[in-house]
Chains A and B, each alone.
Chain A
Amino acid sequence: MSAARVAIVQFPGVNCEAETARALARAGLEPELVRWTRPARDLAAFDAYVLPGGFSWQDRVRAGALAAKDPMLDELAARAADGAPVLGICNGAQVLVESGLVPGNGDDVTSGPAPGAGRGEGDQVRVALARNRMPERTGYYTRWVWCRVEDSPCVFTRALEPGTLLPLPVAHGEGRFASAKKGRVAALAEAGQAPLRYAHADGALAEAFPENPNGSDAAVAALCNARGNVLALMPHPERAATLGQVSRAIGGGWGERRDRALAAGDGSAFGDGPGMAIFHGLARFFEAHP
């Protein structure tokens, strides 16, 4: 069986494409970089899609706002409507939210389906990734956080046991899931569309800074559509692809594994890190749907 082909969609300013490609290849997938200069129709040849992190179009107007209008997003919306997995990481998540692919029209548990939902036209923008809300500071913020896996139909996480804790790095200035409609983000989480939520090291949800690093509603770190095949993920799993990358600020089981691997000096520090769970989730999807 040949490996599933994954397009890494790169707009100008995106800068995490190389490590994303490495993580996908490590999971047994076949990544290929597709730059914005190629025709959008080229995307139809792929099985899955990743929009990596960075600063598409320099975050001009608003993070993700310009890339969201690109013809490539219409093609991605059409492929997503056919069931193809789409993952947006950090800036990629901002693009998916600004383009209305996440949470998607038909996925809005507080309003119900809308005409044209998920068919590339008329995807309403129903949430935002707003500027971080942090006490005594503004702007860009980076740290390692704990993300708790939730019960969800999400393609990328559904093989993981709910309650599993993954330490992952965040690095953004606009990562706060928010909606003008009060309670919408929490309702989406209740409906299983928040497969990862910020948590404390003991697994309790993190509502406050710094464990919730941006003030995200309902401690949401990632939001998906109702079908679970499109995921907007703010943390960077590709930066946690190996054990040796796990921060020294992280304790618990992952910290012990990191310390053992580094002490051994036998190359085991290059073993799978916590971020690989997301990419293996995609590989498992294709094993189940060859």
Chain B
Amino acid sequence: MSAGGKPLAQAFVELVAEDPEATSALAIARARLAAGRRLRSIRRVRVFELAGVLPSRAQLEALLHRSTRFYNPAKERCTVRTAEREPAPFRPEEALVLVLDRGLERRAAGERWWKHETGEKVEVREGTVWALAFEPGEDASARAGELAEVRDRRHGLLANPHFQDWRPGEGASPPWPWIERPRKRAKEDRP
């Protein structure tokens, strides 16, 4: 269920080939940020949350597969999660950072396409998940938090708090729901 009590699905989309965006993020974090020195890997995964009247899992996967509004199956793989107990494409040791453009999470084009194809009204939201793995012995959650929010040239990378929100997660059990949640912090707390 979504935060609004509607049926929910999460779709995690990742490039099949090596992701240049994640490669660059890893290189910069290791070279320039203290919190990134012991980073082992970074993966970038786009996540969609669909809330509303949803079809069966097989139909859901087929709809996502054939619409260019969600992903390109020639270049990306998609993992669908229809319940909290179902696995997500992350490793238990990965610390997760979900980044959202504040107030711009909804995907109107995806919602229009869904309505056109199924006749059903669903809410579509999108964010970006950064999955961070560190060398053994590192406090992954703490370091991921430091890398998440930009403060200055030496601190933070993944989200600019002046227009983005970020939410943590653990690879073993990503939050459910994750995007459609009350915001973690008040806007006025920012520097």
User: Contact at B152–A66, with CB atoms within 8 Å?
Assistant: no
B33 surroundings in chain A (CB, below 8 A)? 69
A283 surroundings in chain B (CB, below 8 A)? none
B162 surroundings in chain A (CB, below 8 A)? 125-128, 130, 178-181
Interface string of B90-123 (1 = CB under 8 A from A): 0000000000010110001100000000000000
User: How many Å lie between the Cα of A73 and that of B163 in the bound state?
Assistant: 22
Which partner residue on chain B sits nearest A120 by CB separation? B153
Does A124 make an interface contact (CB < 8 A)? yes
Does A133 make an interface contact (CB < 8 A)? yes
User: Contact at B191–A69, with CB atoms within 8 Å?
Assistant: no
Segment from B21-29, B66-74, B134-142 that makes contact with A: B21-29
- 30 example contacts (A-B, Cβ-Cβ < 8 A) are as follows A60-B25, A61-B25, A61-B158, A62-B164, A65-B157, A66-B28, A68-B153, A69-B33, A69-B153, A74-B153, A100-B153, A122-B152, A123-B152, A125-B152, A125-B162, A125-B191, A126-B162, A127-B162, A128-B164, A130-B101, A130-B160, A130-B163, A131-B104, A138-B104, A138-B108, A176-B163, A178-B162, A180-B161, A181-B188, A182-B187
B157 surroundings in chain A (CB, below 8 A)? 61, 65, 69
Nearest first, the 4 A-B pairs at minimum CB distance are A130-B163, A128-B162, A180-B190, A128-B163
Interface members, chain B 160-191 (any A CB < 8 Å):
160-164, 187-188, 190-191
Contact of A123 among B24, B108, B153 (CB under 8 A): B153
User: Contact at A125–B32, with CB atoms within 8 Å?
Assistant: no
Interface residue SS majority, chain A: loop
User: Contact at B191–A126, with CB atoms within 8 Å?
Assistant: yes
Does A121 make an interface contact (CB < 8 A)? yes
User: How many Å lie between the Cα of A206 and that of B160 in the bound state?
Assistant: 26
User: How many Å lie between the Cα of A69 and that of B28 in the bound state?
Assistant: 7
Does B57 make an interface contact (CB < 8 A)? no
B150 surroundings in chain A (CB, below 8 A)? 65, 98, 125
User: Contact at B24–A66, with CB atoms within 8 Å?
Assistant: yes
Does B20 make an interface contact (CB < 8 A)? yes
Interface string of A190-230 (1 = CB under 8 A from B): 00000000000000000000000000000000000000000
User: How many Å lie between the Cα of A153 and that of B164 in the bound state?
Assistant: 31
Does A58 make an interface contact (CB < 8 A)? yes
Which partner residue on chain B sits nearest A71 by CB separation? B32
With A60-B25, A65-B160, A123-B153 as given contacts, are A133 and B190 in contact (CB-CB < 8 Å)?
Answer: no
Does B38 make an interface contact (CB < 8 A)? no
User: Contact at B190–A128, with CB atoms within 8 Å?
Assistant: no
Interface members, chain A 67-124 (any B CB < 8 Å):
68-69, 73-74, 77, 98-100, 111, 121-124
A122 surroundings in chain B (CB, below 8 A)? 152, 154
With A61-B21, A61-B25, A180-B187 as given contacts, are A131 and B101 in contact (CB-CB < 8 Å)?
Answer: yes
Interface size class, chain B: 20 to 34
User: Contact at B153–A60, with CB atoms within 8 Å?
Assistant: no
User: How many Å lie between the Cα of A181 and that of B162 in the bound state?
Assistant: 8
> Given contacts A73-B153, A128-B163, could you give 19 more A-B pairs where the C-beta distance is less than 8 Å?
A58-B21, A60-B20, A60-B24, A61-B21, A61-B25, A61-B28, A62-B160, A62-B164, A65-B150, A65-B157, A69-B153, A98-B150, A98-B160, A99-B153, A111-B191, A121-B153, A130-B162, A130-B163, A176-B163
Which partner residue on chain B sits nearest A180 by CB separation? B190
B188 surroundings in chain A (CB, below 8 A)? 180-182
Give the distance to chain A from B35, nearest Cβ to Cβ, in Å.
12
A57 surroundings in chain B (CB, below 8 A)? 24
A179 surroundings in chain B (CB, below 8 A)? 162, 190
Interface centre among A68, A125, A131 (most CB of B within 10 A): A125
Interface string of A25-67 (1 = CB under 8 A from B): 0000000000000000000000000000000011011100110
User: How many Å lie between the Cα of A182 and that of B188 in the bound state?
Assistant: 7
Give the distance to chain B from A135, nearest Cβ to Cβ, in Å.
11
Interface centre among A65, A66, A180 (most CB of B within 10 A): A180
Does B77 make an interface contact (CB < 8 A)? no
User: How many Å lie between the Cα of A58 and that of B163 in the bound state?
Assistant: 20
Interface string of B127-154 (1 = CB under 8 A from A): 0000000000000000000000011111
Contact of A133 among B24, B32, B104 (CB under 8 A): B104
Interface string of B3-38 (1 = CB under 8 A from A): 000000000000000001100110010001100000
